[in-house]
Structure 1
Amino acid sequence: MPDGTGKRLSEYLKDNSLEGQTRRSSGKESGRKWDAHGVNDGKADPDVQQLLAVGRGKRRRWLGDLVLRKMAGSLTADAMEALFQPAPFGETRVSLLEQISSPENAAIWDMFRSIDPDKQSKVLQRWEAHINSEREGEDAGPGAAQQAWQRWAAVSRKARTVLKRASPELVAVIELSFLHFLEEENETQLELALEEGFQRLIAHGLAAFHGLTSASRDAEGAAGRSVLVSKPRSGAPTVAPQITCADILFALEDMPAGGLTPALLGEFAATHDRSSSEASFVIV
C-alpha cells in the first residue's frame, strides 16, 4: 500500500473496520459516523477513501500500478539506462553522411574538392561516345548471334527437344545439305532420303530454323520415306546464316543449363570454328 505497510487492501480495511472498534450502547447517540464499509470517516486513510469513492475499474488499475511498482523495485539512473541498452535503442546509429565523412574516406573527398575541368570534360566526352556507340549498335539491327537466337526461338518446342537430344555432329551433317541448298539460287526444292524417323524430325527442325517448309513423303523409286524441303514462295532471297543450328547445339553442350544468351552465343561462335564438312557421320 502507499502507506509503506505492504499489506493487502482487504487486510488494511479489516484492521480499520468496525470489528476492531469498541461497540457502543444502543441507547446512546454518538457523534461519530460510520460508512457502509464500517470504516471511520475521520480516521480512515485518504488513499482508502479515494479507492472507496471510485469505481471497480479504477480501483483495479490503481492496485495494478502498485503491484508493478513493487515488483520493479527501486531503479537507479544506471539501472534505468541499462533497460534501453539493447539495439536499436541503446546503439547509436551512424548516418551515411557521417560514414563518408570519416577520416578513412578523406582521400576520396580530396578528389571532389579539387576538380580538374579538363579531366571532367574528357570523362564526359568518353561517356557520351560510349553511349552513342551503343545506340548505333542498337539502331543497326540485330547481329549474327541475335539473328541465330531468333531463328532458334522460331523452332517449335518439340523440334527443339529433338535437336537437343541429337548429337551435334549428326545435326551438323544434316544441316550441311541445307546450307548448300540455301546457297543455290536456282533450286527451289531439296529432297533428303532419311529412313529413320528421328533423322526426319531433325530435318524438320532444321527447316524451321532456316525459315523453310518441309514435309515427309514416300521416297521416289526406293523403299522408305524422305523429307521434301522447299523455299518460301515469296521469292525473297535466302542466305545461309553465319551461326548455324549446330553451333547453337555445340554452345549448349559447353554452357551450363539455362546460361546461354545471345551475347555468349556470339562469343562462342567467334572462338570456336566448327566446320560441318569435318563431321565423320554418314547418313544412310
Structure 2
Amino acid sequence: MPDGTGKRLSEYLMDNSLERQTRRSPGKGKSKWDAHGGNNGNADPDVQQLLAVGRGKRRRWLGDLVLRKMAGSLTADAMEALFQPVPFGEVRVSWLEQISSPENAALWDMFRSIDPDKQSKVLLRWEAHIKGERGADEAGPGAAQQAWQRWAAVSRKARTSLKRVSPELVAVMELSFLHFLEEARLCTPCSPEPEDETQLELPLEEGFQRLIAHGLAAFHGLTSISRSSEAGRAVMVCKPKSGAATAVPQITCTDILFALEDMPSGGLTAALLGEFAATHDRSCSEASFVIV
C-alpha cells in the first residue's frame, strides 16, 4: 500500500467495513445501554431494579427519595416515636389523675369541702350581677341605635333642612310632636278614638317650615301630609301609622342635632350618640311635654 502499512487493498477495505459497522447504532434496549458504555445494569443493582419496575413505581420511588432528602435526618426521639404510636407509647396523664396524686391532696380536700348550697347562692348572685351590668350596658346603646334608625328614616332633603335650622327652634316644634305622642299613648289603651281626633294639625305657612315638620313626623314614625284648610291656609296633618306603637323616644331629634353641632366633621355614630346623650342631659327642656 502507498501508506506503508504493507496491507493489500482487499484487507484494507475489509477493515474499513468492519469499523463502520461498529460505529452504527445497535438499536434500542439493553444492547444500546451496553454499547455506549455509560453504565451496565449487571454492575448496578439499583438501576437494574428501576429498569425492572414500571414507570409509576419508579416515579413514586424517586419522589419518596426527594422527600426524605428534604426532611433531613431523624433524631433519636423522632425515630422512637415512629415505633411507639399513641396506643403503645407514653400515656398522657389526665387532670383528674393529677389532682388525685398525693402531692395535690390539699387541692382535692378543698374541692371536696365545697358546700352545694353556698355554691348555688354565689352563682345566683353572680348571674344577677352580670344581668344587671348587661342591662345597664344595653340601655344606652339600644336607645341610641333606635334613635339612629329613626334619623335614617328621615329623607335626605328633610335632614339637610333640619341641619340648617337652629336646634333650639327645632326643639320648640318638636314639643308639639312629643305632646301628641304622649296623648296618643295615654288614650289608646282606654278607648279607641275616631281617626279625626287622633291627628295633629300644625298651621305652617312657609314651605320650609312644613319640610322640617315632615322630617320630624318621619323621625317619630308618623304619617304626614300637607293640605289647605277651610280658611285657605296651609296646614300639615300628622297621624300615627296603623298598628305602630306610639312611644316617646329617649333620644329626640333635637339631641341628634346638638350632637351634630359638637361633631361637625360627620363622624357621628350610634355609639357616639349614646355617649353624647348620657353626658348631655336635656331633660329640663323636654319636661314640659309631659301631660299633668
TM-score normalised to structure 1 length: 0.47
Choose between structure 1 and 2: higher helix proportion. 2
TM-score normalised to structure 2 length: 0.45
